[in-house]
Amino acid sequence: MTTHVPATREALTDLPVEVAPRLLDALLEVELDGERVVLRLSEVEAYHGRGTGDVPDPGSHARMGPTPRNATMWGEPGHLYVYLSHGIHSCVNVVCGPAGVAGGVLLRGAEVVEGADAARRRRSARGVVRQDRDLARGPGRLGDASGLRHPVHDGIDAVTGDMRAGARARLLLPVSPRRDIATGPRVGVAGVAGGDEFPWRFWIPDDPTVSAFRWGRGAGPALSAAR
């Protein structure tokens, strides 16, 4: 029985907040330097750019419009926006929405279902990996495990699977989207963008590869207290 189908541009043209829950249980396949790693997505977050949807998203890299850093977010859906976080971690996003409208879905957590040895070796360069559930638990770890790096893989096409900087990436969507989905505020996002007004984090309940939640600076209880 077929459980996944290759992603198409059409399947990713809706707003990121609509596409994000459909990516749970999706597979991201990455081939790099002769090694293949397959990630089953368990946790994602939606981000909208300026003018995308009805609600401005102050937590998005594209909230102020196009820049050299966020250029991939304004392109065709199905490309991967790979950015550098804290000068260390390469984080991976699936671009969503029609070309010219910025949006992306951050891949926050995943289970390594193939290529665990390669993922473990890449992750061990950052420190000790105590459990396999932690190989791609969190966006920085997921980026490390996949092998995708900023800036060389930013813009890689996960629909066509074209080679870029020695890597190929493909996104496969589940034939039957999950129904048991949890949603809540985004992790570590500052201010109102990290509060209850933006329940744009989606995850699979009780999945051990989902990352731990933390409020961002000035978000959640701190935001409520300031009002």
Half-sphere exposure of 72 (CA within 13 A, CB side): 22
Count of CA atoms in the C-beta half-sphere (13 A) of 2: 6
- Coil, strand or helix: which one is 13? coil
Q: Report how far residue 175's alpha carbon sits from residue 17's, in angstroms, rounded to the nearest whole number.
A: 19
Please give the full DSSP string across 159-181, using - where no structure is assigned.
TT---BTTEEEEEEEESS--S--
**pLDDT at position 70, please?**
97
Secondary structure (3-state) at 23: helix
Rounded mean pLDDT for each run of 10 residues along the chain, 227 residues in total: 94 97 98 97 97 93 96 97 93 92 97 97 80 94 97 98 98 95 98 97 98 94 55
Is the pTM higher than 0.85? The answer reads yes
